[in-house]
Structure 1
């Protein structure tokens, strides 16, 4: 059995589900696009090719192998995009939460049932249908659970609004020992530079006390300022709107010292190295065209917190 254990974003990773780009299907029709960045590339004729995305994901898998991380992959479904495993479920402490995702993506969860079967059934939670939540909006960070949300009355109008107020309340009830801190995110169906699809599109903790952050991803300035105060200005790498669009905040931590990043993120990667991180650079720019990157492609199951003191 898998003993799930996720308390933060950066402790040494032991087991993960990495999505797959195999058989991800034809270029979607414009009206089927889930986000403005995908739409932009569909219309421009620059939507990523399957072979390129498969190559990028294999480069990610090779890094996991290097660090001796146990990697699970979804069962390949024909003509289904299964890259973004973070959307379908997430782990907090020893519990896996089934994400209530866009309804036509439920089959992606079915494709990881061989992993789910290795988890104690009492440690798998299926939220009620009024709870809308995706893993990209949920970040366990020590005593906190950070949650990206959108609670305005026009929530139903945004295909980019994925996590609602009911999800924030649900997580607070599910994990009473944690402080659940929610952040209102900026949403747009049409402008990728003005849309924070998930919390990890404009923020992510790294190392032990640092963070990547984009101010305009947040609708409420006080909530952004809370994060600046929480991590300390000197520990924050602030990214521009263009860098948010390129998905700079969607890197992935294998440990507090090791960050996997896109090889084109030169400004970020230089800063990370200045801070003492080992940066594993891989190509991921084609997958980024779908408004998701490294964190989005992973569903961490187990991180190592050492012996219990």
Structure 2
């Protein structure tokens, strides 16, 4: 396959995936639970597991799970390559970066959130949880190498206001898990746990001159990101959790067919699959019911066991960041 590295553009959530960044699997928990400010958004069965890692590296506490965590991402990369997708990987954190994190801890496990691509705009966001504030740094080399030589725009949100650990402060906050792209329509999830109103307004102002319409989507307070409630599978078809969309589907999606999932399924990441294109979708065998409904609609479903990745409150979309979908 010819590398697509100098082409940067995302037309939609289901446009053919050509170049993608797949996450690493680093997590050092904050020293104390109160540093987070909110409860850590994790898969429901993970609470007891993660209680053991405050102030510690996940892999040191659970070496077998860490190996599986890394293997899941390698398997995802292999499936994507089999479908002709160019796969890039962020680097790992340096020792200097790890020391600088201090009591806040650090994470390098869901590349969807610290930066994102809308059309031909690559945007560095700002993450609300303190252990994720530095998560963009391991991707910077990729951004220099692949975005800077391209014709794409490259920008970043303003730095967030300062606040003590345990208090998010005013932001602005804008995270890629909240940003879904459908041509010139962009949807931004707002629950208060991740992206906030200032971040949404900044994005709407930035993109407006380029012809984009940015729509806020209200989420319940316990839902981290919009992609934990909604997946755009192909034109006219979504996977959605009605309980997590109190105002229903955003206006541009009304009239689309919806494969509905319940709160328990959504909490386990049933909406966090990944379209490779409009006819191919990746999900976990945990969601075979959803996969069967996709298959009945002519979509090829690739299943990958992502049980460790899902412990951290994310899955396939969270673990990937497209640079080229066109």
The bucket for the TM-score relative to the shorter chain is 0.7 to 0.9
Given the alignment of the two structures, is residue 3 of structure 1 paired with residue 7 of structure 2, yes or no?
A: yes
How far is 1:179 from its partner?
A: 1.5
TM-score (normalised: structure 2) = 0.79
CA, structure 1 residues 42+214, in 2 after alignment: closer, same or farther (shift >3 Å)?
A: closer
For residues 210-236 of structure 1, what are the alpha-carbon distances to aligned partners after superposition, in whole Å with 9 as ceiling and x for unaligned?
A: 101111113xx4x31545x83426x10
How far is 1:65 from its partner?
A: 0.9
1:112 is matched with which residue? 139
1:20 to 14, 18, 24: 24
The worse-fitting range, judged by mean Cα deviation, of 262-271 and 100-109 is: 100-109
How far is 1:254 from its partner?
A: 0.8
2:155 is matched with which residue? 125
CA contact (8 A) 2:217 2:250 kept: no
Q: Distance in 2 between matches of 1:38 and 1:266?
A: 18
CA, structure 1 residues 296+271, in 2 after alignment: closer, same or farther (shift >3 Å)?
A: same
1:185 is matched with which residue? 219
Q: The residue matched to 1:97 in structure 2 has which SS? A: strand
Q: Matches of residues 82-161 of structure 1 in structure 2 within 5 Å?
A: 82-102=108-128, 103-118=130-145, 119-120=147-148, 123-128=153-158, 129=160, 130-150=171-191, 155=192, 161=193
Q: The residue matched to 1:107 in structure 2 has which SS? A: coil
2:67 is matched with which residue? 51
Q: The residue matched to 1:76 in structure 2 has which SS? A: coil
Q: Distance in 2 between matches of 1:27 and 1:113?
A: 23
Give structure 1 stretches of 5+ with no counterpart.
156-160, 188-194, 305-309
1:207 is matched with which residue? 234
Q: The residue matched to 2:301 in structure 1 has which SS? A: strand
1:236 is matched with which residue? 258
CA, structure 1 residues 111+271, in 2 after alignment: closer, same or farther (shift >3 Å)?
A: same
Given the alignment of the two structures, is residue 37 of structure 1 paired with residue 42 of structure 2, yes or no?
A: yes
Q: Distance in 2 between matches of 1:32 and 1:2?
A: 40
Question: What's the RMSD between the two structures over aligned residues?
Answer: 2.5
Q: The residue matched to 1:265 in structure 2 has which SS? A: helix
Give structure 2 stretches of 5+ with no counterpart.
53-61, 99-105, 161-170
Q: Distance in 1 between matches of 2:305 and 2:43?
A: 18
Q: Distance in 2 between matches of 1:281 and 1:142?
A: 27
Q: The residue matched to 2:189 in structure 1 has which SS? A: strand
CA contact (8 A) 1:35 1:197 kept: no
CA, structure 1 residues 147+26, in 2 after alignment: closer, same or farther (shift >3 Å)?
A: closer
1:72 is matched with which residue? 88
Given the alignment of the two structures, is residue 172 of structure 1 paired with residue 204 of structure 2, yes or no?
A: yes
For residues 142-191 of structure 1, what are the alpha-carbon distances to aligned partners after superposition, in whole Å with 9 as ceiling and x for unaligned?
A: 231011013xxxx5xxxxx111111221121111111211111101xxxx
Q: Distance in 2 between matches of 1:44 and 1:112?
A: 28
The worse-fitting range, judged by mean Cα deviation, of 40-49 and 139-148 is: 40-49
